[in-house]
Structure formats: C-alpha cells, structure tokens
Amino acid sequence: MPAQDSTTRPIQFEKTRRPLPEASHAPGFIYHSEEVLAEEKRKIFLKEWLCVARSEEVGEPGSYMTLGILGEPIVITRDAQGRINCFANMCLHRGVEVAYGCGHAEEFSCPYHAWRYDLSGRLVSASYMRESCGFDPKAVRLKPIAVGEWTGWVFINLADDPKPLQDHLEFFSRDLGFLKMEDCRIGSKLVIDLKANWKFVVENLMDIYHARTLHINTFGKFRSSPEKHPTEPRPNGGTFMIYEAAPMTPDGKTLFGRMPAIADRGDSFACSSHLFPNMQVIARSDNIHPLVMWPVTANTSRTIVYNLFPKEFLEQPGAHERVKVYDDYIHVVLEEDRLMMDSLQRAVQSKNYEPGRMSTLEVGIYTVVNDYLDRMFGSR
Ligand code: FES
Ligand SMILES: [Fe+2]
C-alpha cells in the first residue's frame, strides 16, 4: 500500500496533522482497510500492553481464561502458587489449542494427541515420544507471554521484548490512582458487537461534542456542558478529563451512594481517561465503567464494558437488581451510539466521503488520532 507506507510521505494525513483549530478528521481508509488492520496488528496489538481482564476473573488458583487477539490464541492462568501466567494457547506438538473457554483446571490436556501441560505451561507428559531422538519433555514449555497486574486489571504484551508495564501506565496510574479500582469488583460485564471499526468506538467514547446532542434524552441531560471541562491530552496518545455528570441511572440518582474512595467528591463527580491503544475508564461518583475496544475485522469490533462497584456495594441486599438498572441504562446509551457507529462506517466506505473539519471540542479525538498516525505511518 504505497500511499500508506511509513516510508512515503503520508500526504493524505496533512489536514489531520494541522493544529487543532485548522485540523480535519482522518481519511476514511484507516477505518475500513484490511491492510491497515494487518499493520495495526503488527505495530500496535503485537507490540503494546493490552488490558485483557480483571484479576478476579482469574483470581483463584487453578482458574484460567482463554482469549484471541486478532487470531492469536492466548490462555491466562492462576497457578497453584497464586502466580498469574500467560502463554500462547498452542500445543507444542501440532499447534492445537490446549485450553478452551474459561473455568478451573489442574492441567491442560491437548485434545488431539493428549500432550499434557501444567498451569505454568510446562509439558507434563507426552505419550509415544520416548523414541523421538533428542526430545526432552522437561525442556518444553508453552510460549510465555508477558503479563502483569495493576489495580485489579490484567495486562498482557505479545512482544518478544516488551517495555515495562509501569512505563506504559505512568500517567494513567498518576491520574486514576485515587479511584482505587483495586477495591472494586465486577458487578457485570457486557459484550457489545458493533458493525464499526474499533477506532470509531475509541473516538466516540472521548467525543464530548456529541454528549449533549445524541444523548440529550439520556445521560446528556445530566452532564456539564463540554466547553466547561475540556479534555486534557496526556503522553502517548492518552487523555484525561474531570467533569460533572450524574450517576448512570435513568433518573441520574445513585442506587448505592458514593464510592468510599471518592466520598469527599460531590455526587456529580465524573472523570474519563483514555489509555492507548484501546481502553477508556469512565467513572462517576458511585461506579466505574471501563471499556476495552477490540478489532474483529476492519469493519467490525467488539467492546467489553466492565461495570465495577466497590465490593461492599455488591454485598448489599438487592445489589444484583440495582446493578441491572445500571446495565440496562448503559445498553440504552450504547444503542444511541450504535446507530452513529453504523452510519460512520457506511460513510467511510462511500466514494463520496470527505473528512470534515474538527471542532476544538474534539481535542480528545485529535490527540488520539494524531498519536495513532505517528505510530502507524511515521511522525510528523
Ligand atoms: S497437537 Fe497437541 S498433542 Fe498433538
Ligand atoms: Fe455516545
């Protein structure tokens, strides 16, 4: 793809690269090209730290979960010593997946020829291999993948030589530490499939411009006007913003009260922060609903919404029913967004599509898109 090659001057990005008051949105092809997605896999998803789970999802010794990232099969386990492990979910004999779904296991037995692995990925036994010259089972281990935990989140990195996780989380840790996400637990987890490129979903979540138009009948009517609390850019394409908004319930009233970690802030406290490449943490006074956006194809994506509450909230009688009120409301809001995502995707695939000018309210999108262009196509 010559015009998009990082060695060629990317002329088509010039209007997006201009200072924000002069800038336009990014060219449409980055939102629907399978070639761009293949490059994103190589330059972003196989290179960067990625948030893949809450620690509690693999909390007990023996628990495991499997996932796939752009075709890469992965398994995460908590071994008997309580250590978290991550490795390629790929048998060392022929490559079949050794673990499926999620749950508890003492070991994994490959369904094809029964090579067995422990929860740290070591080969335990392989039948009929004694006469295979030089084959040493003890030297065989499923390919390890870097894994780390932070405030109850599990991050992995598929690179061979990843930079430290702490470096990746530097500003995020500083800006969001006060939320004490480590004291929260999953009230619910929603999986939303969208017919839109993953970057449209990332951009939509930091698009404060639309909150009081598209969402004026839902949370938009309880949110401060966007120019009052502008988005602040952070290093490496991150963003942070503190603003005012009501809890995410139909009448804007909390069903639990304020989270203990931020009890000194008002009921209308809200903040939002983006961590490159695909995580957005949105907090209200009573709950945190982080989202992680994954590409599926160039034109489709999957968003995971974690609805987190302090664990003492979830132990209260009737907590389950109350969490459902928050869940249902998030669904209503995301359905409003879904129609826009579908329409954006159709637009960029049209021969008539021309990226329009940005509003200065779109500083979040401007920050994230320009960081993305730097990484994918070379710096300005
Ligand atoms: S592919 Fe796993 S044992 Fe053969
Ligand atoms: Fe929205």
Angstrom distance (rounded) from CA 156 to CA 149:
9
Last residue of a domain, one of 134, 158, 182: 158
Token pair listed for 364: 């979040």
Say yes or no: 209 and 124 in one domain. Answer: no
Query: Domain of 244: which CATH number?
Result: 3.90.380.10
Question: Does the C-beta of 49 come closer than 6 Å to ligand 1?
Answer: no
pLDDT value, residue 109: 98
pLDDT value, residue 367: 97
Q: Which atom of ligand 1 is nearest to the CA of 113?
A: 3
Q: Which atom of ligand 1 is nearest to the CA of 110?
A: 2
Which ranges of the chain have pLDDT less than 70? 1-10, 380
Cβ-based burial of 195 (10 A; exposed 0-12, middle 13-18, buried ≥19): middle
Considering only CA atoms, which residue is closest to atom 1 of ligand 1?
A: 94
| Domain assignment of residue 181, yes or no | yes
Say yes or no: 342 and 234 in one domain. Answer: yes
pLDDT value, residue 270: 96
pLDDT value, residue 212: 86
- Choose among 266, 280, 307, 236: nearest CA to 44: 236
Token pair listed for 327: 């869940």
pLDDT value, residue 378: 86
Ligand nearest to the CA of 208: 2
Last residue of a domain, one of 158, 193, 209: 158
Considering only CA atoms, which residue is closest to atom 3 of ligand 1?
A: 113
Question: Does the C-beta of 115 come closer than 6 Å to ligand 1?
Answer: yes
Question: Please, are residues 324 and 318 in contact by the beta-carbon 8 Å criterion?
Answer: no
In the chain, the number of structural domains is 2
Say yes or no: 63 and 143 in one domain. Answer: yes
| Domain assignment of residue 361, yes or no | yes
Neighbours of 131 (CB within 10 A): 6
| Domain assignment of residue 163, yes or no | no
Our mutation pick for probing the ligand 1 site, out of 89, 113, 124, 140, counting the most ligand atoms within 8 A of Cβ, is 113
Ligand nearest to the CA of 214: 2
| Domain assignment of residue 44, yes or no | no
| Domain assignment of residue 1, yes or no | no
pTM (two decimals) = 0.95
pLDDT value, residue 380: 62
Helices (H), the chain: 14-17, 34-40, 165-168, 170-176, 198-205, 311-314, 319-348, 363-377
Question: Does the C-beta of 214 come closer than 6 Å to ligand 1?
Answer: no
Say yes or no: 245 and 223 in one domain. Answer: yes
Say yes or no: 175 and 290 in one domain. Answer: yes
Say yes or no: 22 and 61 in one domain. Answer: no
pLDDT digits (tens, 9 = 90+) for 313-327: 999 999 999 999 999
Amino acid at 172: F
pLDDT value, residue 10: 62
Query: Domain of 64: which CATH number?
Result: 2.102.10.10
Angstrom distance (rounded) from CA 102 to CA 82:
17
Say yes or no: 340 and 279 in one domain. Answer: yes
| Domain assignment of residue 347, yes or no | yes
